[in-house]
Chains A and B, each alone.
Chain A
């Protein structure tokens, strides 16, 4: 066997081996009492946009694509979701202090305005998660209303 073939074979073995290490899934079966949508009783259209465009990385429930079972992609996704939830977890929203809820909502508005969220690397593979002008307006309107009611 030539040297090149050996290297390719070794790499192949490593790739097969890492498939055995599957990361834990971010899928909670518990009812999310502190969820933002439930907590503020958000209308269905707002909830729909949030769930499609934000909840994969910012909640306790991720809809996984098929390639999440392929390593190391699955690991990277797991890491990504962990970071996303650390920053903002809609499933735990009501557990934040009022001040934090306000600043999270303002940050949410800012990222919609700047177009920094959802991340381009995410919308590249999740075309449905891209925010249309209409969805953006809807989110802005609802968050403004919620911010006002919280600031009272």
Chain B
């Protein structure tokens, strides 16, 4: 009898280990519906919210550049929350098309970054894909500040990866202090 109970307990603990994300995605869905009900406003609010997403993205980028995975996780969570605040109704048709296309992807990558506070390599993999989405977003909805598109040639088995930065100086978020100044500016986005 005891052995059976013990067996069940062990099996239970093995499987629960993989279910911890369930509640979080539930929460995310809830906020989704709540935000969708917020009334539409003018264009100024939109820019503010896009800027907010950009600001949290930059915070994330700087955290990765200083090898701080905990800070990166916090910033990742903030990106998830901010992306929902963008009021799609006040975007132009073209902007909305881009926004609709990148929104879920941005959310998913940021979500992963936020739930992997101890795995900086994994965070960086998602940051790579997130940066591509962010680039498409700021190319469509102009950022409130000058941004630089930087390129790191080594990441992804030398396939390269990009990131967005608010400063001209290179601070590589893919390798942190190992190769902080490695990379080159490719484009200035105004």
What is A's interface to B at a CB cutoff of 8 Å? Answer: 8, 11-12, 15, 67, 70, 72-73, 76-77, 79-80, 82-83, 86, 97, 99-100, 103, 106-107, 110, 114, 116, 119, 121, 124
> Count the B residues whose beta carbon is within 8 Å of the partner chain — how many?
26
Q: Name the A residues within 8 Å of B129 (CB-CB).
A: 103, 106-107
**B65-103 vs A: 1/0 string, CB under 8 Å?**
000000000000000000000000000000000000110
Q: List 12 A-B contacts (CB under 8 A).
A: A72-B8, A83-B22, A97-B104, A99-B101, A99-B102, A99-B133, A100-B105, A103-B105, A103-B129, A106-B129, A107-B129, A114-B122
Please give, as numbers and ranges, the residues of chain B lying within 8 Å of A83 by CB-CB distance: 18-19, 21-22, 25
Pick the interface stretch among B9-17, B34-42, B55-63, B144-152.
B9-17
When the two chains form their complex, are residues B12 and A86 in contact, meaning their CB atoms are under 8 A apart? no
Known: A8-B1, A72-B8, A107-B125. 9 other contacts (CB 8 A): A72-B12, A73-B8, A83-B19, A103-B105, A106-B129, A114-B121, A116-B122, A121-B17, A124-B14
Is B5's CB within 8 Å of the partner chain A? Answer: yes
